[in-house]
Structure 1
Amino acid sequence: MNFFEFLVNRSDDMLELGLGHAAVVGVSVLLATVIGVSLGIATYRKPRPREAVLAVTGAFLTIPSFALFILLIGPLGLGTMPVVVALTMYGLLPIVRNTITGLREVDPAIVESASGMGMSRSQQLLRIELPLAWPVIITGVRVTSLVLLGIAAIGSIVLGPGYGEMIFTGLARVGTPVAVNLVLAGTLGIIILAILSDVLFYVIRRLTTSQGIR
């Protein structure tokens, strides 16, 4: 059986696994965005807390993914939950770093002008700083989504959803005719999701960024 025939025969599996893969990554990206942007906002003006947050979120990325998934089995069990927690941890750094960078790059003169107009600190943040920093922040979210799409496949070792199931099944059958097709199909599914994710974030950035700062 050639690869094309394999994809046709397993199309239902590809769709089901793809939806599961996209869902677990989507939830993780959403959580990482909420936490990461909040941490960035809370620390971008404070050097020591800022360095500490960047150091901690950077340290998460140094933990081998296999090890982290296994360690999370104890407190969280098997299935989707350890995958979501691990992916959220891995997704924080690009979002925190870009939020801090974007906010710190806002021209201080603009902020001072807003203050002179009587805007409160929260109004300056919501109406001036965050909109100006948004293109940088959304780029961090986009990078996080692409990174997590790849890491999510490893979540199969704790019975997480997604294309990792197909890839690991293929690896377990190395030497059989179907092994390569399974691995290729799972990999192709992740690549397609990555392309769709990139297009989605491009559209979101265009729709949510004012023309003056695109």
Structure 2
Amino acid sequence: MDFGEFLSSRSSEILFAAAQHFSLVAQSVVLATVLAVAIAALVHRSSLGRAVANSVSAVGLTIPSFALIGLMVAPFGFGVKPAVIVVVFFAALPILRNAIVGLAGVDPALVESARGLGMSRLGIFFRIELPLAWPVILSGVRVSAQMVMGVAAVAAYVLGPGLGGFIFQGLSRLGGAGAIESVVTGTVGVILLALILDLLLLGLGRLTTSKGIR
């Protein structure tokens, strides 16, 4: 079986797995962004809070994704739940670091001026701090999205959804018919999805960032 035949014979399965993979990563990145920005909003004014959050982010990135996914089997079993937990965890780490940097870099004079005008703490955050920090935060989101595309593929080890299933299926029967084609399909598919998501995030940045701070 050549590569073209493999693609044509399993096209519907490949497209379904690609859609699942993209959905898992996109939804996890959105959830991770909300969590990371919320944590950054709470700690960015405290030097101790920033140090702890940055340390957690740095240490968290050293944890092997395969090992963490394996550890999630005992409490959560196989399937979507452990995959989502692990992908969200890894996705949040770069975003948290960038969110802290972005929010801490907002000019304190602007915040004080807003306070002087009677703006509430939430109003200052959503109307001044977050918009000014958003380009830095979005850079972290883009890095995070690229990174967890691969993590989501590894999640197939616990029967998580996505293209990782093709990679593990191929690796489990190397030398057999269609094994290499299966691995290549999963790998190339993950790369293409990463490029597509990055382009979408780049477009989102242009739509959501004021021209004055691009």
Report how far residue 208 of structure 1 moved: 0.8
Aligned to 2:191: 191
Structure 2 segments unaligned to the other structure (5+ residues)? none
Q: How many Å separate the matches in 1 of 2:66 and 2:133?
A: 35
Aligned to 1:132: 132
Q: How many Å separate the matches in 2 of 1:138 and 1:43?
A: 19
Residue by residue over 1:111-144, the C-alpha shift from the partner in whole angstroms, topping out at 9 and shown as x without a partner, is 2322332323322221111111111111111111
8 A Cα contact 2:57 2:97, kept in partner: no
CA RMSD of aligned residues (A): 1.3
Residue by residue over 1:73-98, the C-alpha shift from the partner in whole angstroms, topping out at 9 and shown as x without a partner, is 11111100001111111112111111
Q: Does 1:15 align with 2:12?
A: no
Residue by residue over 1:142-178, the C-alpha shift from the partner in whole angstroms, topping out at 9 and shown as x without a partner, is 1111111111111111111111100001001111241
Residue 2 of structure 2 aligns with an amino acid whose one-letter code is N
Residue 93 of structure 2 aligns with an amino acid whose one-letter code is L
Q: How many Å separate the matches in 1 of 2:74 and 2:178?
A: 34
8 A Cα contact 2:94 2:144, kept in partner: yes
Aligned to 1:166: 166
Q: Secondary structure at the match of 2:30?
A: helix
Give the structure-1-normalised TM-score. Answer: 0.95
Identify which range, 112-121 or 168-177, moves more after superposition.
112-121
Q: How many Å separate the matches in 1 of 2:177 and 2:168?
A: 15
Aligned to 2:154: 154
Give the structure-2-normalised TM-score. Answer: 0.95
Q: How many Å separate the matches in 2 of 1:208 and 1:52?
A: 30
What is the correspondence of 1:73-112 to structure 2 with a 5 Å cutoff? Answer: 73-112=73-112
Q: How many Å separate the matches in 2 of 1:10 and 1:33?
A: 34
Report how far residue 108 of structure 1 moved: 2.3
Aligned to 2:43: 43
Q: How many Å separate the matches in 2 of 1:209 and 1:111?
A: 19
Structure 1 segments unaligned to the other structure (5+ residues)? none
Where does structure 1 differ by over 6 angstroms across 4 or more consecutive aligned residues? none
Report how far residue 51 of structure 1 moved: 1.2
Q: How many Å separate the matches in 2 of 1:90 and 1:47?
A: 23
Q: Provide the aligned length of Structure 1 versus Structure 2.
A: 214
8 A Cα contact 1:57 1:89, kept in partner: no
Q: How many Å separate the matches in 1 of 2:31 and 2:119?
A: 30
